Amino acid sequence: MKTAQRFKLAAAALAIGLSFATGATAADKPSVVIVHGAFADSSDWAKVIPLLQAKGLNVVAVQNPLTSLEDDVAAAKRAIDAQPGKVVLVGHSWGGAVITEAGANDKVSSLVYVAAFAPDAGQNAAELGKDYPTAPGFAHIKADASGFLSLTKEGMSKHFAQDLPAATTAVMTATQGPILGKSFEQKLTVAAWKTKPSWFLVTSADHMIQPALQRDMAKKIGATVSTVNSSHVPQQSQPAKVAQVILDAVNQSK
């Protein structure tokens, strides 16, 4: 065989080897499963999802029924089980309680809390803020005859998402997912953050979950903490910063 032919064959073999290696690396990346919070739906993450997909990640946003902690956890578990490999589980606000319970799944490699509740086993989300001043947004929550809670137009525009344009918050008000109030009183049976590495993004201008409470929860669970100067929905007002926290968790997942 001529030297030139040997060189071409060697180069081709190297290219194929690199191709397989690159494919393996992509396949080894965990999927990202995102759990939205109360007064929202999965479209709340529409600005972050493309940023993660651009990095080659498989992303699934769970649509919570918001009818009970158990129902929301079940929805998250179905999404986790449907993924081909490991999962980075992300929760916003009420979704933090959901991922704390659902994250005990063996497929979950890490947890990301975005302005989220992080209860312990035996706790519920409602009791976490009892030693802190009431967040101003709570005054704008209304209940219907069936006990489902939603935010008023003022609550959405001035307290839930005060750093977003009025046209955006008007749509958020119309599309929000009401949550059964009793969900906040339901106790968790497990706390996945005790066995999984966690990241926590604190929102320093939050009117729904006090920033001090967020910082204390993040410290309690031993999370890697970042802070962003935003409302309760940084995934809409500062999506690149939220995406970066998730990517940090992805890149350090095992």
Q: What's 209's domain CATH number?
A: 3.40.50.1820
Q: Phi and psi dihedrals of 59, rounded to 5?
A: -125, 135
User: Per the domain annotation, does 22 fall within a domain?
Assistant: no
**Rounded Cα distance, 254 and 251, in Å:** 9
User: Per the domain annotation, does 2 fall within a domain?
Assistant: no
User: Per the domain annotation, does 242 fall within a domain?
Assistant: yes
The list of the chain residues with pLDDT below 70 reads 1-27
From 20, 215, 230, 200, select the one nearest 111 (Cα to Cα): 200
Write down the pLDDT at residue 6: 45
Write down the pLDDT at residue 123: 97
What's the DSSP call for residue 125? Answer: S
**Rounded Cα distance, 119 and 192, in Å:** 10
User: Per the domain annotation, does 81 fall within a domain?
Assistant: yes
Expressed as residue numbers, the domain containing 98 is: 30-251
Q: How many domains does the chain have?
A: 1
Write down the pLDDT at residue 28: 79
User: Per the domain annotation, does 11 fall within a domain?
Assistant: no
pTM of the model: 0.89
